Structure 1
Amino acid sequence: MRVSTSQFYLQSALLMNQKSADVNNQMEHLSSGKRVLTAKDDAVSYGTLSGFNDDLASIEKYKRNITMAENHNSMQEVIFADAETLLDKFKQDMLLANNGRMSNEDLQSIADQMRHGLDQLIDLGNSQDEKGDYIFSGFQTQQKPFSQQVDGSVDYNGDKGVNELQVAKNIQIPTNQTGDAAFLNIDNAIGDFTATYPTVPVNTSGVAVESANVVDRNTYNVSTGPHTFSFDPITNYLTVTDSTLPIPAVVFPPAPYVAGQTISFDGIDVTLSGNPLPGDSFVINEKQNISIFETLNNAISWAEQGVVSTNQEQHQVDYNTVLDQLSSAMNHIYSRRADAGIRLQALENQQSKHLDVELNISKGKSSIEDLDFAKAISEFEQSKIALTASQQTFSKVQGLTLFNYI
């Protein structure tokens, strides 16, 4: 067979390039410690590894989201813990203020402490995260959620938006609690209504609404509130009327009142405490929720009344109302803190699951792609020998001519 010089050079170059590529490819596998780097190494294994890598990337994204969600919920848990401390101090101040030995100056001092506590609670509601976003504003993270008005009332300026982060394929965890849910929507301690007691004539018996709840919503919805309770000046019979105009309608006809009995009308059940005197009266208005800030303002107002020499009975009724509502507010904050704790626990559990899955995937991935170094080094050495041999052969053969045989 006739071999031209150009053909000889071409074939030699191709052979040496192939051997050199084999050596370089094996060096790449040795340096990476991986058996499968591209699809040509093992198409089936490469496809499996691609799926593993996608799963690991998703887990890494979920772990980042878990860290963010943990940071937000941890911050809220701390804020609610501080709020618990403030509310407990308010309750202790109220208990102290009801001590009959307190002077007007003592009560004013307690009221001043309470007002400072109210300011602190508003500051907690306006807390910001590390980025400067307001925690309790819902989606309006650049909007300061709570603002105090001249009359002491507190307005909510955020919305009801709840942010969520995906922490697993089908699991999303809220990262915030809105300001209205956290500080405004506090269950009314006596139920669905509040009582307004008149100042003329004053409540001298200490009668009070112990509970008032809607038990038949359909009947109540067609009624006309508010409802007025009045005790006849002569017989002391109880009558309940609604606010129908021009003449209020009687919804509970005159009847003797027995202390502690439940009175039912217009789909409402009301239980009173105390022994009313002839001529006593009061009005109930629907109000299912009472904000923490309203409760604290009522506590401050009660303390600022000072030592009351007249109408002690109504003063005590107001005290009991404030104290009961403070307890309701504390229970609400406990539940808000518990919600943050439950979320943190769920995040911790999900993090643990991701770590377990990540470990299993990594083991499976390792079993497919990790290099057998002993075998790889042996093949690498063989490839180097083959490359060296091809180079030496080319070097010797390319220098031969016919004169070598003469």
Structure 2
Amino acid sequence: MRISTQSFFERSAAGMGRLQQKLFQVQRQIGAGTKFLTPSGDPVAAARALGVSQSLAETAQYAASRSRAGQSLSMEESALQSATGVLQNVKTLIVQAGNGTLTAADRGTLATALESQFAELLGVANSTDGNGQYLFAGFKGDAPPFVEQGDGTVNYMGNAGQRLVQVDVARQIAATDDGESVFGAVQGSAMRVPAAAAGNGGSGVFSNVSVADGLNYTVTFNSSATYTVSYVAADGTPVAVGPQVFTPGQSIAVAGLTMQIDGAPIAGDVFTVQDATSAGADVFQAVRDLIGALRVPATDAAAMAKVLNALSTADVKINNAHDNVLTVRSAVGSRLAELDSLNASGEWRNIVDQTYLSELQDLDYASALSEFAQRETNLRATQQTFARLQSIALFNYL
């Protein structure tokens, strides 16, 4: 078979071109560090790699969301820790104020100290997350949630919303708590709150209060010697027990109520024992009422009874508020712990996906370099062979 010179050159050039193209492809793979340069190079692996890349992107987004939620919850936990400390200080001041040797000036000094604690607690309740958003404002994070009015009362201007963050495929977590549930609520197990009516004129002082059922009680003195206990039964029926004979210092025990009243109540004096919510769960109002009671000079037994009764009421309310803040703080801690767990599982999932993605598309450099050397040798040998063959002619042997 005779092969023309032109055909020889064309076939040789085409063969060397193919070898050079394959060598260039391996060289590009080495430069890019990937098994395939385009999806057409390995359609199945490319499709799987796309799915794994999307999973990695979602994992990264969830990790970023958990980071933001963790930052917000950490700042809330810090604020709640401060609130816990303030309420503990208030409880200590209440105990000090109950010292019978204190003068009106001493109680005024304690009231001033309570004013400072009140301001600190209000500042904690209006804490921000560092980005201008108020932690305890619900969805109204751009404005202070607690606003003090001219009369000293504090109004909650936020709402009951919780900012939820998607921290995993099927898990949303609350990154904040609304202020009403923190500073204006109590737990279901909160102590019942005894109180003396503001208009009491006698020197009766309550103590040793307990309730064996879930009812609210009212003790009304008909005279300095008799009283009537009224309540609403579980079936909604109003009940009044009395008049009963009053003996100072002797326990009143009617239905589920036990209460001791010392001193000398007068006709019209009223004492109540209510569940914590009915008695008012606003911690700011509890502190403000206590401050007001300590600032009134106790010049006689009736005035001193008002102070002592106010202290007892405030003590129970502050204890309930303190327990509520601790419960919320515990819930925040649980959410932070859950975020840590989700971060750990997210990191593990990320490692697994990265490993699989590497298996799909990362180049085996040892094999690729070996193939490159082999193809380069083949191309060089082909070129040298072509150079020798094209120089062979009959005239060279004449």
TM-score (norm 2): 0.82
Q: CA deviation at 1:84?
A: 1.0
Q: CA deviation at 1:404?
A: 7.8
Change (3 A) 1:382 1:93: same
Change (3 A) 1:9 1:282: farther
Partner residue in 2 for 1:232: 222
Partner residue in 1 for 2:204: 205
Q: CA deviation at 1:128?
A: 1.5
Q: CA deviation at 1:204?
A: 2.5
SS in 1 for 2:230: strand
Partner residue in 2 for 1:252: 240
Amino acid at match of 1:274: I
1:68-107 correspondence runs (5 A): 68-107=68-107
Partner residue in 2 for 1:223: none
Partner residue in 1 for 2:291: 300
1:2-401 correspondence runs (5 A): 15-186=15-186, 190-191=191-192, 195=195, 197-199=197-199, 202-207=201-206, 210=209, 215=214, 229-233=219-223, 236-238=226-228, 240=230, 251-256=239-244, 259-263=251-255, 271-274=258-261, 279-282=267-270, 287=278, 289-311=280-302, 312-389=304-381
Change (3 A) 1:10 1:206: farther
Distance 2:57 2:393 in 1: 62
Change (3 A) 1:187 1:335: closer
Distance 1:52 1:159 in 2: 41
- State the Cα deviation string for residues 150-186 of structure 1 (Å, max 9, x = none): 1111111111221111121111111111111111123
Distance 2:43 2:391 in 1: 43
Change (3 A) 1:337 1:10: farther
Q: Root-mean-square deviation (CA), in Å? A: 3.5
SS in 2 for 1:274: strand
Distance 1:113 1:380 in 2: 82
Structure 2: give runs of 5+ residues left out of the alignment.
Answer: none
Distance 1:96 1:127 in 2: 29
Change (3 A) 1:404 1:153: farther
Change (3 A) 1:365 1:288: farther
Q: CA deviation at 1:85?
A: 1.0
Q: CA deviation at 1:345?
A: 0.5
CA contact (8 A) 2:202 2:266 kept: no
CA contact (8 A) 1:262 1:271 kept: yes
Change (3 A) 1:301 1:255: same
Distance 2:397 2:132 in 1: 90
Change (3 A) 1:104 1:395: farther
Distance 1:325 1:350 in 2: 38
- State the Cα deviation string for residues 108-133 of structure 1 (Å, max 9, x = none): 22211211111111111111122211
Distance 1:273 1:398 in 2: 123
TM-score (norm 1): 0.80
Distance 2:141 2:397 in 1: 93
CA contact (8 A) 2:199 2:269 kept: no
Amino acid at match of 2:222: D
Q: CA deviation at 1:199?
A: 2.5
Change (3 A) 1:228 1:338: closer
CA contact (8 A) 2:139 2:163 kept: yes
SS in 1 for 2:40: coil
Distance 2:252 2:15 in 1: 106
Q: CA deviation at 1:25?
A: 2.3
> How many aligned residue pairs are there?
383
CA contact (8 A) 1:84 1:330 kept: yes
Amino acid at match of 1:147: V
Partner residue in 2 for 1:245: none
Change (3 A) 1:108 1:283: closer
SS in 2 for 1:256: strand
Percentage of identical aligned residues: 23
Q: CA deviation at 1:34?
A: 3.3
Amino acid at match of 2:240: F
Structure 1: give runs of 5+ residues left out of the alignment.
Answer: 221-226, 243-248, 264-268
Distance 1:92 1:153 in 2: 23
Change (3 A) 1:321 1:380: same
Amino acid at match of 2:300: S
Amino acid at match of 2:281: I
Change (3 A) 1:297 1:394: farther
- State the Cα deviation string for residues 352-397 of structure 1 (Å, max 9, x = none): 1111222233333334444333322111112223334555566777
- State the Cα deviation string for residues 10-64 of structure 1 (Å, max 9, x = none): 7666544433332232123323443345433433333333332222222111111
Question: Which stretch shows the higher mean deviation, 76-85 or 202-211?
Answer: 202-211
CA contact (8 A) 1:230 1:280 kept: yes
Q: CA deviation at 1:137?
A: 1.2
Q: CA deviation at 1:213?
A: 9.6
After superposing on structure 2, the runs of 4+ consecutive aligned residues of structure 1 that deviate more than 4 Å are 1-5, 7-17, 187-190, 193-196, 211-216, 275-278, 283-286, 389-406
SS in 1 for 2:129: coil
Question: Which stretch shows the higher mean deviation, 153-162 or 383-392?
Answer: 383-392
